[in-house]
Amino acid sequence: MKFLGIIPARYASTRFPAKPLAMLGGKSVIQRVYEQVAGVLDDAWVATDDERIEAAVRAFGGQVVMTSVHHKSGTDRCFEACTKIGGGFDVVVNIQGDEPFIQPSQLAAVKACFDDPCTQIATLVKPFTVDDGFEALQNVNSPKVVVDGRMNALYFSRSIIPYQRNADQCDWLKGHTYYKHIGLYAYRTEVLKEITSLPQSSLELAESLEQLRWLENGYRIKVGITQVETIGIDTPQDLERAERFLERMQQQG
């Protein structure tokens, strides 16, 4: 199977404008993401709507494709980019442009989901640990996932799911394995075309999670597990945390 990695990257961001071009350890965030992906998949491209990001990617030798400014999601941008790039890829992997610490093992876990010929869409989760604490479990910016016995997603929510009715909240992480969603998606190419033509769904609008649109329309999302902790960058404060994380990694390496 041929896997195409696409990294959607917008310049405009409410919480952190110009985020892909922010510097992290002497390199832009988008360069760090690209370098983590290139070589692991069969091909990798940045998909952007901004000439400044296009120029930055070309400057470090990356592949970049310009896409519409009107896309509402990274999935929509991935489909346009995939159409423009061509190449007969079987699976498109959507890597968020604000995940500079995405690991080859995580990409491998998503790829492995397609060993099952029935897999339509795949994503990743990481188990919460007791050390994460209840505050991390409560974080609405960290969606939770429940899965069935075959590791297909049943539901994604910003709320804590499941709710343990007969246990004290301080014991919830001890009594059940909760899964944190890692925003890495992969889609069979024909499925990507189908899901981008779907109208927004009621569950998606309620939770502001586009993957609920796919579930609500009957698509299955296979879930891979990673134990690797990464730091996504949504705010300038996250960038400061990422700098400290990178320094620790470099000291350990």
Look at strands 144-147 and 64-66 and give their pairing: unpaired
pLDDT digits (tens, 9 = 90+) for 166-204: 999 999 999 899 999 998 999 999 999 999 999 999 999
Residue span(s) of the chain under CATH 3.90.550.10 come to 1-102, 115-182+190-232
Which residue, among 5, 225, 211, 205, has the nearest Cα to 97 in the 3D structure? 5
**Coil, strand or helix at 156:** strand
Give 3-state DSSP helix, strand, coil % of the chain, rounded to 5.
40, 25, 40
pLDDT digits (tens, 9 = 90+) for 48-81: 999 999 999 999 999 999 999 999 888 999 999 9
pLDDT of residue 12: 84
Tokens of 105: 């093992």
pLDDT of residue 75: 94
pLDDT of residue 251: 86
Q: Which residues of the chain carry a pLDDT beneath 70?
A: none
Count other Cβ atoms within 10 Å, centred on residue 136: 14
Q: Which fold has domain 115-182+190-232?
A: Spore Coat Polysaccharide Biosynthesis Protein SpsA; Chain A (3.90.550)
**DSSP at 38:** B
Does domain 1-102 fall under CATH 3.40.50.720? My reply is no
Q: Is the pTM of this model over 0.85?
A: yes
Q: What's the sign of the alpha-carbon dihedral 43, 47, 52, 54?
A: positive
